Amino acid sequence: MATTYTPIATQTLGSAAATVTLSSIPATYTDLVVVVSAAVASSSGDLLMTFNTDTATNYSYTTLTGNGSTVTSSRSANRNNIPCDYNGWLATTLGNHNCIISVMNYANTTTYKTALTRSNNAPLGTDANVGLWRSTAAINQIVFINNAGSNFIVGSTFTLYGIKAA
Partner 1 sequence: MADTFIKIASVTVGAGGAASMNFSSIPSTYTDLLLKISARTNRANITDAISLSFNGLATNQTSRYLEGDGSTAVSSSLTSFRTLASGNNATANTFGNSEFYIPNYASSTFKSASSDGVSENNATAAYAWLVANLWSATGAINQVTVTDLNSATFVQYSTATLYGIKNS
Which residue ranges make up the site for partner 1 (CB under 8 A)? 3-7, 10, 35-37, 64-71, 88, 93-98, 100, 118-128, 155, 157, 159, 161
Nearer to partner 1, 83 or 125 (CB): 125
Nearer to partner 1, 8 or 132 (CB): 8
Is 115 in contact with 102 (CB distance < 8 Å)?
yes
Nearer to partner 1, 119 or 146 (CB): 119
Strands (DSSP E) found in 80-141: 82-83, 97-104, 113-121, 125-133
CB of 128 to partner 1, least distance (A): 5
Instruction: Let me know if 97 is exposed, middle or buried by CB neighbors in 10 A (0-12, 13-18, 19+).
Output: buried
Task: State the pairing for strand pair 125-133/82-83.
Answer: unpaired
Nearer to partner 1, 68 or 149 (CB): 68
CB of 72 to partner 1, least distance (A): 9
Q: How far apart (Å, rounded) are the C-alpha atoms in residues 19 and 7?
A: 21
Q: Of the candidates 63, 60, 71, which has an alpha carbon nearest to the alpha carbon of residue 132?
A: 60
CB of 43 to partner 1, least distance (A): 20
CB of 139 to partner 1, least distance (A): 19
